[in-house]
Structure 1
């Protein structure tokens, strides 16, 4: 039933859903100019290493819940195409996972619950660092599968009602002008978050979000977070936690510096050659220039 819904939704909503994945599997699986280093957190040693890096940055209960969700996901899918231990490498921006087998097995277990995506995963990790005092209703019209996930989630993924509202506000679509000027678009996001009282605690943990411009409606154009993850320092570099999409695996990627992460995200998501507005990246509520 859920797959049928995806097939019949509007072009806008389909575009938004896949934005938390990738634009073109064919283009992303061609050799890139650099190799990514990543883990799918299957083994306890890698989990413990990541947890240790996070232990002084996030509440223990949020760290523990994250790994419980990771293990729950990994226990309910075939893991043959995932990195079995430590970190692996890929010469494509999206490692080649057996998505068909993963999707089928997950759907057999959970016909209504689509899993967690990049937004829900990141929110669960960074929610303690973000405060909100909203003055406006959220535009959650593009969060249609996210909201399904919140309703149909098994116990380990349940989110408190007040946190669900904060999630919708943080990931709300933001009204903007129909122009190709990322500076103005970024300012629109900053203005909206200021109106909603969104503030980020000073921390070495940051939320890195990739913003897209929905121009399908020539008048009421919107900005939305198409992909997001959590960045934090570790062993002389950085680790970036992301959930590629609802059904695709959790990933932790290693980067030498922030510029490397910026280049990775732009290579994945700046794939539109139609002349539309380029995506832009924010670190918390600031421009992320790498």
Structure 2
């Protein structure tokens, strides 16, 4: 009886420790500042069926070894609400080691969805301006040649769309997915997009995006925050929890009272980010 009691007690202590670790990690995030976290995330991407994980790894390692080292990005998981990278040092670290553009959120998500996302139609030629830095990098940097193969789909997916009914600007991105027949052929991977409304030009565009991987009891969101800013992976228990974390970034918000930013799970509108300050 005493032995059984000791075993039960030990099991309960182990379970308590495991629960503590889980609570520390979810929600949890990493800037993928070194080999341990990069390898961990790449294994999860590969298992979920993401495309070109080998290339993604090359991009992430390159960033960690240059911008990441200069900004002292850690190879660990942290509280996402307390993470703050030194963007100036990231930029300096990248530019000291490269004479070409870094990737951004849209380029990274599109790489991982190559062959996973498809469309029935695309725009013939992009004539907008919101994606000019993306398209310049894709057109002129050899490492992004793989994105050039489906550039029309890229600009159709992410480029600005005119708002004809300013009472419902949130419907434009949904309508675009339907019009061009976008579809993701994977039950576990989806595209999470933050769409910005520009009331001065009456247009919406994808200001930020990343891929969301679904597990039985949590989600993993993988993103490149922006040009010359870190890669980030975030574990959350719910999508609402992820939106709360993304709401901490002031760059997604316009002037007080302006609609949006709107959030979409693939082509479905799921709400707006809420300003936290």
What is the CA-CA distance between 1:97 and the residue it aligns to? 2.1
Tell me the SS of whatever aligns to 1:288: strand
How large is the RMSD of aligned CA atoms in angstroms?
A: 2.6
Tell me the SS of whatever aligns to 2:194: strand
Matched-pair contact (CA < 8 Å) for 1:99–1:248: yes
What is the CA-CA distance between 1:160 and the residue it aligns to? 4.7
What is the aligned counterpart of 2:239 among 242, 258, 261?
258
Give the number of the structure whose residues are more often helix, by fraction: 2
Tell me the SS of whatever aligns to 2:146: coil
- 2:10 is matched with none
Question: What are the equivalent positions in structure 2 for 1:83-232 lying under 5 Å apart?
Answer: 83-92=73-82, 95-111=83-99, 113-134=100-121, 136-137=123-124, 138-155=126-143, 157-177=144-164, 179=166, 181=167, 184-217=168-201, 221-232=202-213
- 2:63 is matched with 73
Gaps of 5+ in 2: 1-25, 273-277
TM normalised by structure 1 equals 0.75
What is the CA-CA distance between 1:193 and the residue it aligns to? 2.4
Rounded to whole Å, the distance in 2 between the matches of 1:76 and 1:83 is 10
Q: Is the alpha carbon distance of 1:131 and 1:263 closer, same or farther for their aligned partners in structure 2, counting shifts above 3 Å?
A: same
Rounded to whole Å, the distance in 1 between the matches of 2:215 and 2:69 is 26
What is the CA-CA distance between 1:256 and the residue it aligns to? 1.7
Matched-pair contact (CA < 8 Å) for 1:210–1:282: yes
- Greater CA radius of gyration, 1 or 2? 2
Q: CA deviation digits over 1:37-64, x for unaligned, max 9?
A: 32122333323332332233225x5111
- 1:247 is matched with 228
Moved beyond 6 Å, runs of 4+: none
What is the CA-CA distance between 1:135 and the residue it aligns to? 5.3
| Higher RCO, 1 vs 2 (CA within 8 Å, ≥6 residues apart) | 1
Tell me the number of residue pairs that the alignment of Structure 1 and Structure 2 aligns: 245
Tell me the SS of whatever aligns to 1:54: helix
What is the aligned counterpart of 2:260 among 278, 283, 288?
278
What is the CA-CA distance between 1:36 and the residue it aligns to? 6.2
Gaps of 5+ in 1: 1-34
